[in-house]
Every structure is written in C-alpha cells, then in structure tokens.
Amino acid sequence: MELVLEAFEQYWRKSPSVKRLVLRVIPDEATRLAALKRGEVDIAYSIRGELAEELQKTPGLTLKPAVIQAPFWLYFADQWDPKSPWHDRRVRQAVSLAIDRPSINQALTLGHSRLSGSIIPTSFEYFWQPPAPVYDRARAKQLLAEAGYPAGFDAGEYYCDGSYANLGEAIANSLQQVGIRVKLRPLERVAFFSGYSEKKFKNLIQGSSGAFGNAATRLEAFVATGGAYVYGGYPDIDGLFQEQAVENDPKRREVTLHRIQQLVHEKVLYAPIWELAFLNGVGPRVRESGLGLIAGHAYSAPYEDVALKSK
C-alpha cells in the first residue's frame, strides 16, 4: 500500500490545482461507516446489510450502489463423480431452486444486486440472457426425493472467500430449509483463490470474478476443459468452445457462444446467485464521488474527476 500511496502523492504534486487524495484501509465495515459519519473520510466502500440501511437513514450521507461485473455463483465441484450426489442434475437443480435470492439480495445489498441467472456479466459482449432464476422450495424438495434424498443429505464443505461469508451463511440457511446440510468454510482471499485454482476443493464452491473481458474469456476460465477454475468438462461444450475460438464472423461466433451458455444453464454446471451490487457511502462534502462513472467498476474512478464541493 505504501507504494500506491507514494504514486498518488507524486501524481498530485504534478497537479497543484487538485487537492491531495488520501486512501485509508479500514477492514471493518462498522468502523468504515463510523468514520464516514464523523467526517473523517468522504467516501467509504462496501457497506452492507443493516449498516447500509443505517447509512441511508443518516442525514447528509448518500448510499451509492454500483452493480459491478462480478457475478457470484455456486460451483458443483464433484458433478463429474458418479458417486457424488452432485452428479445428479436434479440435485443441482434443487440447490438453485432452494436459494431465496430475492430475500438474500434485500438483506445484504438492499435489493440492488442483479439476479441475472448467469455467471457471465450482463454487460459483456456475447452475453446470453437465461430464464430468470426461480425460488421454489417445494419443487427443490421434490427433486431431491426423486434423486433418492427425500430427507436431504449432508453435503460436506461449502468453500468461500471470507469477505463474502455473510452471503455463504445466507445460502447455507436456504439449503438447510430443503435438507441440504453444509459446513461453511470461509478462507482468506488468497488462500481461497489458490485452493480454487489448484482444484483442491470439493462439494460446493462459492465463486466469483470481476475480471474484464467478454463471454468467451469468462467461459474459458470457468467452463471449458483446462480453464483456470474448471474441475471437469463436457465434450459438447468443449467442441463448441473450440469452434467459436476460430470463428471470424462475429454473428456466427455469437450464435455459438449463446449455445454454450444455454448448455451451461441446461446442465446446471453452476447455480448463479447474483451480479453483485457494491454498496458505497458518500459524505456531504463530496461533489463528484466518481462512483459509477466507469460502468462495472466498484470504486471511484477516474480519480481526476473526484471532487469536493466548493466552500
């Protein structure tokens, strides 16, 4: 962080007409909100749930949600193992149906996250819009019974980035309601993504990605065999992925990429959760926060546009 701050210092010294920008790292959300309320900081990132509601009710403070290109999902790491419950598509469907996305969205991001039903950001080129995700607990229980689990089952560990353990807890509670019992395993971010990419996890993985690109780059990393976060593949999907990779006609490539996304949806490779709304707080001195100026970006940018109100 010292090197980043030094770079900013050098930039601001070259621009004397612009006031110096200072970044502070405050890991705890409640402490970030308290600093914003006291006027110690002018912009605070990632204020969720009840704290976001408190922010909205505080005079002079403004909640600024930004839906970013970071879908979250559940990945069924063992779906290729015939001995695993996750091998049965009906079980994977049951998980998706059991997740009460609207309630979780309201509780954690005040309803601002986008329930797109896809692991591909809606803003990406070649995005295909799947049917809206459905919450149907009765149907989830029915599918589990048809798959041979009328009383549910112990589903093992549920791995997630510790920064979003609150989302994992909410989903684990939804799964519990239909008899799918998991053990939440939140990990420090570096350890989580290291284990994810090294294929060390089993059962359920709560994944996400905020990388830029298009539908093809996201599918390459998370769907096609050999991808950085891919635990297994399907020949029909892999064949189509290779076809689109050498297709020079954008329209034909779009058709192929749409078909891949349809197959991902039909096979239930993933249970998409949402496209995250990053909730930020802005204090009364701010004229331009920079939040939302760059579509899909969570933070204030460009820094040259961030400005305080004139006295």
pLDDT tens-digit profile of 65-99?
999 999 999 999 999 999 999 999 999 999 999 99
What confidence tens digit (pLDDT) does each residue in 100-135 have? 999 999 999 999 999 999 999 999 999 999 999 999
Q: With bands split at pLDDT 50, 70 and 90, how would you rate the model's confidence at 147?
A: very high
Cα–Cα–Cα angle for 82, 84, 86, rounded to 5 degrees: 100
What is the average pLDDT score of the chain?
A: 93
**217-229 average pLDDT score:** 98
Question: Does the pTM exceed 0.85?
Answer: yes
**47-58 average pLDDT score:** 96
pLDDT at position 2 is: 31
Helix, coil or strand: residue 272: strand
**153-160 average pLDDT score:** 98
Q: How far are the Cα atoms of 189, 281, 284, 305 from residue 311, in angstroms, in the given order?
A: 41, 21, 12, 18
Give the sign of the dihedral formed by CA 171, CA 176, CA 178, CA 181.
Answer: positive
CB 124 within 8 A of CB 285: no
CB 154 within 8 A of CB 181: yes
Residue 31 pLDDT exceeds 70:
yes
104 vs 247: CA distance, rounded Å: 40
271 vs 75: CA distance, rounded Å: 7
Of the ranges 20-24, 143-147, 184-188, 202-206, which one carries the lowest mean pLDDT score? 20-24
CA distance between the termini of the chain: 31
To the nearest 5 percent, what fractions of the chain are helix, strand and coil?
A: 40, 20, 40
Residue 19 pLDDT exceeds 90:
no
Residue 46 pLDDT exceeds 80:
yes
Ramachandran category for residue 186: left, alpha or beta (phi over 0 → left; psi -120 to 50 → alpha): beta
pLDDT at position 17 is: 45
Cα–Cα–Cα angle for 123, 299, 11, rounded to 5 degrees: 125
**278-282 average pLDDT score:** 95
**What is the amino acid identity at position 1?**
M
123 vs 304 pLDDT, higher one? 123
Q: Could you give all domains of the chain from N- to C-terminal order, each with its CATH number? A: 2-61+283-308 (no CATH), 68-276 (3.10.105.10)
